[in-house]
Amino acid sequence: MQPIRIGILGAARIAPKAAVLPARDNPEFEVRAVAARDKERSRAFAAENGIPAVADDYAALVARDDIDLVYVALPTNGHMKWSVAALKAGKAVLCEKPFAINAGQALIMAANVSAAGRPLIEAFHNRFHAVMRRAIEIAASGELGRLVDAEAVFDVLIPYTPTELRWSPVLGGGGALMDLGCYCVHALRTIIGTEPKVVHAECTIERGVDVATSAELSFPDGLRGKLRTSMTKPFSATFKLKGEKGSFSISNFLAPQNGCTFVVEAGGRKREEPTEGPSTYDAQLAHVGDVLLRGAEPLTGGADAIANMECIDAIYAAGGYERAVEVRQ
């Protein structure tokens, strides 16, 4: 069987972890080509990562006959244009998070999925790991009783530099909520399994981006949710869920392969859930294989991506932050 042939759009730092290395360990995939914003950058990235072909530009990569799956690793302001272009060229798409600049763009992207008949999967890599899958199972099982409180935190210290995309207000993915907090929003929505309303939000703005954002959410049945994210604090990635009969807490719900604890307290007992298994990125690519080769339903993208962007938009609105974004042509 011919492997699924991947073309990478964007020589991003995430691309080796998310596509190149997992494809080397998965015989169902191979990385065939890359296109970056200039040819020299493409050549350097291809040489460093053992990629056999370099496309002249993004359009040339999307049009290649030897590409089955386009991995969109561009700044967020290019996600809609190039995901749609890839779908129209008959390619499946794995698009980096956050899915789009806003919910309006996410709606357009989802509409093109329906028209093209090819999947568009959002790269929330942690969603596919065994830890997240188990958290969803426990939350839905009734073991914790009626769920009452949830909290997600993701902080990463990202120092300012003029070329750091996370500090760019015009590329769409800048700021703590879009780059980091989108994981918190997604984890809360996914584990709880319902859609929240934003009760209150606060954004701390520096150099045109939110360096820190916090929000209070209200879920159906009275469940209270909180999220906090910052680009000016040391690493922290925790998720906590409390019910009337028990609770659980996860340290490093983002990348359990780098060290994680998953503790459940219920029925008067305390236990640790296993956290081993393939990395989040390996699990993500394996899920793409399940979708493309075995007909599995994508766990991200589509309605899920739209709802995540709607929540992010609502948090920014409640926090009084209006973003100025340039759409990449």
Prediction pTM value: 0.96
328 has pLDDT over 60: no
Q: What is the mean pLDDT of residues 305-310?
A: 98
Architecture of the structural domain at 126-282+309-318: 2-Layer Sandwich (3.30)
Q: What is the pLDDT of residue 329?
A: 40
Q: What is the mean pLDDT of residues 239-260?
A: 98
Q: What is the pLDDT of residue 188?
A: 98
Pairing of strands 4-9, 29-35: parallel
Main-chain dihedrals φ then ψ at residue 66, nearest 5 degrees:
-100, 25
Q: pLDDT (tens digit, 9 = 90+) per residue, 26-74?
A: 999 999 999 999 889 999 999 999 999 999 999 999 999 999 999 999 9
Sign of CA dihedral 106, 134, 184, 76: negative
Strands, sheet with 147-155, edge to edge from the N-terminal-most edge strand: 197-206, 209-218, 224-230, 147-155, 236-243, 246-251, 261-266, 269-272
Q: Which CATH superfamily is domain 4-124 in?
A: NAD(P)-binding Rossmann-like Domain (3.40.50.720)
| Cβ neighbours around 56 below 10 Å, total | 10
Structural element, H or E, at residue 129? none
204 has pLDDT over 90: yes
User: What is the residue extent of each domain of the chain?
Assistant: 4-124, 126-282+309-318
CB 238 within 8 A of CB 212: no
Q: What is the pLDDT of residue 173?
A: 83
Average pLDDT, the chain: 96
Q: How many DSSP H helices and E strands does the chain contain?
A: 11, 14
Cα–Cα distance list, 127 to 10, 54, 130, 172, 284 (Å): 23, 31, 8, 22, 8
Measured CA to CA, the distance from residue 77 to residue 272 in angstroms comes to: 41
Main-chain dihedrals φ then ψ at residue 323, nearest 5 degrees:
-85, 145
